[in-house]
Amino acid sequence: MVIRRELGANGRLLYNILIDASDSTCMQAPSHNRKAIQNPAILIPTSENQKIDPWVCAGIPKKIKINSNLNHHYTFDNFIEGECNRLARSAGYAIADNPGGNAFNPMFVYSATGLGKTHLLHSIGIKIKENFPDKTVLYVSSEDFLRQFIASVKNQTVNDFNYFYQSIDVLLMDDIHNFAGKAATQEQLFHLFNYLHQNNKQIVLTSDKSPLEMEDIEPRLLSRFKWGLSAQLTPPDAETRVQIIKSKIMDDGGIVIPDDVVEYIAYRISNNVREIEGVLKTILAESILSKRTITLDLVRGIIDQIATNTNKEVSIDYIKSVVCDHFNISVNDINSNTRKREIVQARQLVMYFSKEYTQSSLAKIGKLCGNKDHATVLHAHRTVKNQCDTNKKYKLQVQDLEKKLKC
């Protein structure tokens, strides 16, 4: 009556009930008509006597048994270490030894696609489960998280969604750049992040960009991504790619691939580990189904068909592969200290083309050509130019190599 008299017929009273989170007799939210998050891999408890609103009630009740969604093929054992991933891999190991109680919380891993972000997440999760079987670990893609959140809003089960995710001890979330422009999901992640971090729960996130480069993400969320360690994964160098290929060959049953073929694959495909996997599967299928021996000619044809873009990038590794293929020698010969005329000539050409077609320093070129110094690189460059000016046959050979590099 007072409201109508003072505000008129349309007057309404709005109020909030504040609950002391420190009160051990925390009121339980009603749980009528509750629905589980729509993901068969995640089990959400629906018992009527459980607290289902951890945003209000301090602390989480007993553990939830869940499927961690971990792929046990992605372990640290087959996550080959190199300069490209050493920081991230070492930090992942440290996290597995002390999840939530280390200096890398959160850990933010970023890279272009196909360089091992997902593999690293699973490796961390698997190692934590080995070290701490009672820990609740969850790997979730950004797409699944978004889908679950939308379903919880639609079904009015956001409390269940919150309860579930706040019960996680180790959250491994993949490809969070997909949250760009999604304000409601970012708001949900912000509060979840705060809760997990304040309760010493481990968070590991991946993205295709660093926090500084991400767009359409709330600044307050970006600031939290920077609280721990940001680690970039870069394309593996030639030596690491060779080791990756050999590791994957063993995983595929130890098929026999000659070393020169392994080196050729490594030097032709330089940007993406996932593409290396695809090439290996195609080579294996072609060998088995066509009953053909795996040779350099077979592999060259396959790569030319399914990896048409890989030879457009002129790198020192690619230059080595082209020159070595031309002289029918191995990359190890280029890197050796041998003074055989043919190998010296090939090494000089690698140095020449590396100076002409890459932005690498003379010191780097020399290091990648058998630990030579910059003076040796300059001498090789002058030698090739002088030979081109005085020897027509040699010049034609250099021009032929140039065409292969540019094709």
Residue 253: what are its φ and ψ, rounded to 5°?
Answer: 105, 10
Q: 341-357 and 374-390 are packed helices; what angle lies between their axes, rounded to 10 degrees?
A: 100
The answer to whether the beta carbons of residues 221 and 180 sit under 8 Å apart is no
pLDDT band at 148 (very low <50, low <70, confident <90, very high): very high
- What kind and span of H or E run contains 387? helix 374-390
The DSSP secondary-structure symbol of 70 reads -
If you write DSSP's letter for every residue of 180-229 in order, what string do you get?
A: TT-HHHHHHHHHHHHHHHHTT-EEEEEESS-TTT--SS-HHHHHHHTSSE
Helix (H) or strand (E) holding 137: strand 137-141
Provide the pLDDT for residue 37.
41
Is a pLDDT exceeding 60 seen at residue 344?
yes
Distance CA 15, CA 226 (A): 37
User: DSSP letter at 311?
Assistant: G
30 cis-preceded (ω within 30 degrees of 0):
no
Supply the pLDDT for residue 219: 93
- Residue 283 pLDDT more than 60? yes
Token pair belonging to 235:
């394309």
Q: 21-35, 85-99, 223-237, 358-372: lowest mean pLDDT where?
A: 21-35
Task: Please provide the average confidence, as pLDDT, over all residues in the chain.
Answer: 82
51, pLDDT greater than 60: no
Average pLDDT over residues 66-91: 92
Token pair for residue 174? 């993949």
Distance CA 377, CA 360 (A): 12
Q: What is the pLDDT of residue 352?
A: 93
Contact 399, 388 (CB under 8 A): no
Which amino acid is residue 201, in one-letter code?
K
* 26: pLDDT strictly greater than 60: no
Residue-level pLDDT at 154: 94
3-state secondary structure of 116: coil
Q: Which tens digit of pLDDT belongs to each residue from 149-163?
A: 999 999 999 999 999
In terms of Cβ atoms closer than 10 Å to its own Cβ (0-12, 13-18, 19+), residue 18 is: exposed
140 close to 125: Cβ distance less than 8 angstroms: no
Backbone angles phi, psi at 170, to 5 degrees: -135, 115
- Residues 288-311 have pLDDT tens digits of 888 888 888 888 888 877 765 444
pLDDT (average), residues 104-128: 94
pTM for this one? 0.63
- For residue 350, pLDDT over 80 is answered with yes
Q: Which comes out higher in pLDDT, residue 14 or 139?
A: 139
321-325, 344-348, 389-393, 402-406: which range is least confident on average? 402-406
Structure tokens, 339:
């003074």
Name, in order, each residue with C-beta under 8 angstroms of 278's C-beta and a sequence gap of 6 or more.
Answer: 306
Residue identified by tokens 């480069």 is 213
CB atoms under 10 Å from CB of 186, counted, come to 18
Residue 29 has a CB neighbour count (10 Å cut-off) of 16
The pLDDT score that the predictor gives to residue 249 is: 83
Please say if the pLDDT value at position 23 is more than 50. Answer: no
Q: Which of 42-46, 76-80, 360-364 comes out lowest in average pLDDT?
A: 42-46
Query: Could you tell me the pLDDT band of residue 21, with boundaries at 50, 70 and 90?
Result: very low
Residue 244 to residue 235: CA distance in whole angstroms: 12
Residue 116 pLDDT level (bands cut at 50, 70, 90): very high
- Supply the angle between the helices 316-327 and 259-268 in degrees, to the nearest 10: 140
pLDDT tens digits along 228-274: 999 999 888 878 888 898 888 887 666 778 888 888 888 788 777 88
Looking at per-residue pLDDT, the higher value among 159 and 56 belongs to 159
